[in-house]
Amino acid sequence: MAAELDDHRDRDGRAGAASDRRGFLGTVWGGMLGAGGLAGGLGRAASPSARADEASAGVDRRMIVRTERPLNLESPSAALDSFLTPVPEFFVRSHHGAPAIGLRPWEVVVEGLVERPLKLSLADLEAMASTTIPAVLQCAGNGRGLFRPRMPGLVWERGAVGHAEWAGVPLAALLERAGVRPEAAHVHFVGGDVPPTPKSPAFIRSIPVARAKAEDTLVALKMNGEPLPVLHGGPARVVVPGWGGDCWTKWIRRIVVAAEEASSFYMKTGYRIPRKPIPPGVAPDPADLVPVEWMNVKSLITWPGAGAALARGPQEVRGVAWTGEGHVVKVEVATVQDPTWREAELLDGPRQGSWRRFKLAWTPPAAGEYVLQARATDSKGEVQPEVSPWNKSGYLWNGYDRVPCTVS
């Protein structure tokens, strides 16, 4: 990837569309100015660091930089105003940063409680029958910054979520080839990302074997029709539609079939949530903590943007809504000033794991300050609550989505 800086980019940060061999769009990112006033970022990308340029190649300059190393990027809500989220505007969450890719051939091993351990090259995976699935990827910590009282952790607000079309090999096909032994109960995924120090835990997660064998669980090689970009786990990542992003292991090198759940930090300590809500500040009994699996029902207003200045007259409120198990059946919109819920029109078909866009005509009754709010209902009858139950890690926020705006 060329390391030139700002010059040949338009205001949207999208440069020429030349694709490099890793499937990045050809955008070269030089500046992080305007990304929510966050300091510095890769904006010092006039820096000669080839590594920084490499890490941010293909990323839209409007992304909100939550941390620079490892690179953690949040999407501004306007970037989520479409059915599929463009790759350059898709949030990035990596605990240890992306590994070096391409220095040696990528191999995915399937081993553990299997009859026939497999060692597959990318070409082997590409030669297998491929399935394409649109699915929402959301970090379990999306919305952590909205919980009160606050808790430690990356302060995601509304944009650690995106919707892409994932294509690749059903994990079930790999497991079938390998022959899963009857005593198997969990499938562990080992990513190629390297922890920064010997003491930091590797990102290892597992999912139950039944979920691993579900027809929509993929080893994805493509995202929105392009080779999976390195930032999103290329060349190969796990896709588990409807489940939290923590289950979607990136850069997979080993798939280990086992009798037990992974014993890693990120399985046993991270990404666990109380089975039942507990009051803020109360320490949960570890026995009552379960892994984050299915997401909960949630909506996001993508237009107008937070703080928008609107002219009087008819407006269109737009957004997206998703859930874990099942699908969204209803989205309602109101304002804090006039809390009468009105049902929005849903634009896309119901499909588990996928999001549906919604829209609603809204004519503000007078000039003034408004806070738009949205709530979704899913096919299990779950309704987005006004405020999510507090939990000490700040997972699964799904309180009403709220957007302040001014009409004059």
Ligand X SMILES: Nc1nc2c(c(=O)[nH]1)N[C@H]1C(S)=C(S)[C@@H](COP(=O)(O)O)O[C@H]1N2
Interface of this chain with ligand X, residues 234 to 253, rule: CB under 6 A: 245-246, 248-251
Structure tokens at 120: 């597959």
Can you tell me the distance from the alpha carbon of 390 to that of 374, in angstroms, rounded to the nearest whole number?
20
Can you tell me the distance from the alpha carbon of 84 to that of 134, in angstroms, rounded to the nearest whole number?
8
Between 93 and 356, name the residue whose CB sits nearer to Mo ion.
Answer: 93
Structure tokens at 296: 């909960």
Partner whose binding site includes residue 266, from Mo ion, ligand X, none (CB under 5 to 8 Å by kind):
none
Decide: is 106 part of the binding site for ligand X (CB under 6 A).
no
Phi, psi of 364 (to 5 degrees): -60, 135
Sign of the torsion formed by the C-alpha atoms of 313, 314, 320 and 326: positive
Out of 45, 64, 110, 139, the only residue in the binding site for ligand X (CB under 6 A) is: 139
Out of 24, 106, 147, 203, the only residue in the binding site for ligand X (CB under 6 A) is: 203
Decide: is 66 part of the binding site for ligand X (CB under 6 A).
no
Interface of this chain with Mo ion, residues 85 to 114, rule: CB under 5 A: 93
Can you tell me the distance from the alpha carbon of 395 to that of 298, in angstroms, rounded to the nearest whole number?
13
Q: How many positions of this chain bind ligand X (CB under 6 A)?
A: 20
Q: What is the pattern of x (binds ligand X, CB under 6 A) and - over residues 208-237?
A: ------------------------xx----
Partner whose binding site includes residue 186, from Mo ion, ligand X, none (CB under 5 to 8 Å by kind):
none
Residue 7 CB, shortest distance to ligand X, in Å, is 28
Q: What is the C-alpha radius of gyration for the chain, rounded to an integer number of angstroms?
A: 21
Give the residue nearest to Mo ion (CB): 139
CB 154 within 8 A of CB 179: no
Residue 248 CB, shortest distance to ligand X, in Å, is 5
Structure tokens at 394: 């700040």
Q: How far from the centroid of its chain's Cα atoms is residue 275's Cα?
A: 23
Decide: is 299 part of the binding site for ligand X (CB under 6 A).
no
Residue 205 CB, shortest distance to ligand X, in Å, is 8
Per DSSP, 204 falls in state E
- Unique residue bearing structure tokens 């000490």: 392
Interface with ligand X (CB under 6 A): 90-96, 137, 139, 191, 193, 203, 232-233, 245-246, 248-251
